[in-house]
Amino acid sequence: MLRIIPYSKCYALQVSQLFHLAINAIDDDVYSTAEQQAWSFAPRSSYHWHKRLSRSKAWLMIDDSRDVQGNPLCCGVVNLETHFHSRGYIDSLYVHPEYQHRGIAAALFSQLETWAISANISNLSVDASKLSKPLFLAHGFRLNHRSYQEKRGQIVMGYLMSKALTTNGQGLDDECEVV
Query: Is 67 a domain residue?
Result: yes
Query: Is 166 a domain residue?
Result: no
Residues of the chain with pLDDT under 70: 67-68, 167-179
**Where would I find the beta strands (DSSP E) of the chain?**
2-6, 57-66, 72-80, 89-95, 123-128, 142-151, 154-164, 166-167, 170-171
Q: What domain range includes position 50?
A: 2-122
Query: Is 95 a domain residue?
Result: yes
**CA 59 vs CA 5, 95, 146: distances in Å:** 6, 12, 27
- The separation between the first and the last C-alpha atoms of the chain, rounded to the nearest angstrom, is 52
Query: Is 22 a domain residue?
Result: yes
- For residue 130, is it left (φ>0), alpha (ψ between -120 and 50) or beta? alpha
Query: Is 154 a domain residue?
Result: no
Provide the pLDDT for residue 36: 83
Query: Is 130 a domain residue?
Result: no
Query: Is 147 a domain residue?
Result: no
pTM: 0.86
Query: Is 159 a domain residue?
Result: no
Provide the pLDDT for residue 168: 54
Provide the pLDDT for residue 167: 61
What is the number of structural domains in the chain? 1
% of the chain at pLDDT higher than 90: 66
CATH code of 30's domain? 3.40.630.30
